[in-house]
Amino acid sequence: MADPLVSVVVPTYNRAYCLERTLASALSQTHRNLEIVIVDDGSTDATEELISTIRRRDARVRYFKQPNKGVATARNAGFAQCSGEFIGLLDSDDVWRPWKIELQLACMTRFPDVGMIWTDMQAIDADGREMSGAYLRPMYSAWDHFSVGNLFATQVPIGTFAPRFADEYGTRLFHFGEIFSEMLIGNLVHTPTALLRRSRLDKVGGFDESLCPAGEDYDFHLRTCREGPVGFIDLPTITYQVGMADALSRHAVSLSTNFLKVVTRTLSEDRGRLHLSPDKIDWVLADANTWVGQVMLDEGDDMKARKHLARSLRYRPFHARTAKLAALAMMPPALRNTVRSLWAATKKRP
């Protein structure tokens, strides 16, 4: 592979306070043949002025503004403007390591069937202190069910095909293979770490905008894995700030209900391609319904909570945690709050 053009899609909304740092990390990549496609999703702060200043310094930056429609629409709008053979995804509050794209391209050059590669991530707090040098697994609970070694069929030391990285990272592993079935358990990919081939993106077709404001990332990566082999570099290539004020953790209802929707749709459309036992599929459906039931209980929607918790128990009878939640959902709110307070006090006792 000569010097392929990589298009970097950066959706942003009122992030002028941190966007310059993010863009600097993309523009300072050791792989220089980049275009940075910024999609401003209706910002009302100084984003446009900031980008104008940056564009005067670097012609690789392209800027598009649209009415506020959400991150999935912004990313899809960015995809439509991309010219590159490869597509990188970067959120406007994250920071890339300088060699991120170079390393991912080295992997894709050596293994041309791999359509997407993602990596681990470093986490920092609001004051810039490191919280974790390997935050992917704590952030995405689906990793609790896998080790990297049993998730992917093949592991190759980076130093065997990327001599530029041999001294520092040569013994670290690049893992790759087919993991569509395993991805049904839950999301394993942090979007701003991902690099895709344009040919794979064309098959996937972008983000499902109907799933906003949360849950579209899981659907996108699940469909990406459906289309063929993917790879994972067990190395942090981005810095992610935990606890941003507009983090997706606020969207528990959308995250849980959309996860159940995507799992149900995938089972309906692609069950024949999933190499999971009936018991495992029942477990996935039970877990998804328990998640929705718990969120609905916390939101005070007792009817929906009871419905989903009952469904969960049909898939996985006698599950203690789900049964406890179902019992809570049947109680009057005042009694429920008292019981929860008693449970919490019991847990705190030495």
Q: How confident is the model at residue 246 (pLDDT cuts 50, 70, 90)?
A: very low
Torsional class of 335: left (φ above 0), alpha (ψ -120 to 50), beta (otherwise): alpha
Helix axes 47-57, 16-27, angle to 10 degrees: 20
- Taking only the tens place, the pLDDT of each residue in 16-45 is 999 999 999 999 999 999 999 999 999 999
Domain ranges of the chain: 6-249, 277-340
Q: In sequence order, what are the beta bridge partners of 86?
A: 6, 197
**pLDDT value at residue 249:** 52
For a pLDDT cut of 90, what percent of the chain falls above it? 87
- Taking only the tens place, the pLDDT of each residue in 64-84 is 999 999 999 999 999 999 999
Q: Are 148 and 173 in contact (CB under 8 A)?
A: yes
- 248, pLDDT greater than 60: no
- 89, pLDDT greater than 90: yes
**pLDDT value at residue 340:** 77
- Taking only the tens place, the pLDDT of each residue in 144-176 is 999 988 999 999 999 999 999 999 998 999 999
Q: Are 233 and 107 in contact (CB under 8 A)?
A: yes
Cα torsion through 346, 347, 349, 350, rounded to 10:
140
Q: Are 178 and 273 in contact (CB under 8 A)?
A: no
Average pLDDT in the 106-111 region? 97
Sign of the Cα pseudo-torsion (332, 335, 337, 340, in order):
negative
- Taking only the tens place, the pLDDT of each residue in 276-297 is 999 999 999 999 999 999 999 9
Burial group, residue 194, by CB count within 10 angstroms (0-12, 13-18, 19+): buried
Distance CA 91, CA 104 (A): 18
Q: Are 124 and 241 in contact (CB under 8 A)?
A: yes
Q: How confident is the model at residue 348 (pLDDT cuts 50, 70, 90)?
A: low
Burial group, residue 314, by CB count within 10 angstroms (0-12, 13-18, 19+): exposed
**Residue 27, amino acid:** L
Q: Which residue has the higher pLDDT, 337 or 191?
A: 191
Locus of tokens 């050059």: 109
* Mean pLDDT, rounded, of the chain: 94
**pLDDT value at residue 242:** 87
Class of domain 6-249: alpha beta
Q: Read off the tokens for 232.
A: 């994972």
**pLDDT value at residue 245:** 44
- 224, pLDDT greater than 60: yes
Distance CA 31, CA 327 (A): 57
**Backbone phi and psi for residue 9, each to the nearest 5 degrees, phi listed first:** -95, 125
User: DSSP letter at 4?
Assistant: -
Q: Which residue has the higher pLDDT, 41 or 332?
A: 41
Largest distance between two CA atoms of the chain: 68
CA distances from 316 to 185, 297, 327 (A): 15, 19, 16
